[in-house]
Amino acid sequence: MSEDRAATRGDDAMRQLASTMDAPEFTSTSFTKLDKPLSECRVAIVTSASLHRPDQERFSQGDTGFRAFDRDDRNLIMGHWSPNFDHSGFHLDLNVVYPIDRLQELADDGVIGEVAPRHFAFAGNQPDTVSEIRLDTGPQCAAQLNADAVDVVLLTPV
């Protein structure tokens, strides 16, 4: 791999930039210990890839909301506004961002109990404080996950 071409430095540049940016700090870390085996747990995916169905409202620039979709939905669009990462992987195989087929295989094999009925997407590019997600839309999403009796959430970043 050549070191001097701009395109070769994309991921390194982004990781370097991100490591210097302010990040929200939490004074305590909540820790939910499972009270049953994984093979009895209902699992949901929450991604920051701005995924949405074609019939749902697109993510706007600075969108702090989320979209919910059904576990059978595969016609998803990646509506992320950042030009700073690869989009081709998702086009080739949505599981590389949203591993819904892998989750179903784990359920079929009895590794996890069940795939949750709904899954959720936020936008990865958020205001630095992420206060809306902490205080407003995040708790709203948590309430919906609890309404679906979700035990475990897998978070996938984009």
Partner 1 sequence: MSTLAHVFEAAGIATLVLASMADVAKKVGPPRVLACEFPLGRPLGKPGDAEFQHQVLQQAFSLLEADEPIFEHFPEVVESDEMPMACSLPPRDDPKAPPAVDEARGLISAYRRAVDRKGVTAVGRAIEPEQIPAALDTLHQWANGAAWKDVELPGKNTVAVCHDIRAYYLEAALELVGDLAPGGRSFDAWFYEVTEAGKTILEARRALKAQDAPFPFWFYMVAGHLE
Site for partner 1 in 23-52 (CB under 8 A): 23-26, 29-34, 38, 46-48
- Compute the Cα dihedral for 132, 121, 66, 40 and give only its sign: negative
> Is there binding between residue 58 and partner 1 (CB under 8 A)?
yes
Please list the residues that pair with 69 across neighbouring strands. 119
> Is there binding between residue 130 and partner 1 (CB under 8 A)?
yes
Q: List the alpha helices (DSSP H) in the chain.
A: 10-20, 88-92, 100-108, 131-132, 138-147
Q: CA–CA separation, 76 vs 78, rounded Å?
A: 7
Provide, rounded to whole angstroms, the least separation between the CB of residue 53 and partner 1. 8
The single residue among 40, 57, 101, 108 that binds partner 1, judged by CB under 8 A, is 101
Footprint of partner 1 on 67-86 (CB under 8 A): 75-79, 81-86
Cβ-Cβ contacts under 8 Å for 137 (sequence gap 6 or more): 64, 65, 66, 122
Provide, rounded to whole angstroms, the least separation between the CB of residue 148 and partner 1. 10
> Is there binding between residue 157 and partner 1 (CB under 8 A)?
yes
- Which amino acid is residue 40, in one-letter code? E
> Is there binding between residue 107 and partner 1 (CB under 8 A)?
no
Provide, rounded to whole angstroms, the least separation between the CB of residue 106 and partner 1. 7
Query: Angle 28-31-33 (CA atoms, 0-180°, nearest 5)?
Result: 165
> Is there binding between residue 123 and partner 1 (CB under 8 A)?
no
The single residue among 4, 7, 57, 113 that binds partner 1, judged by CB under 8 A, is 7
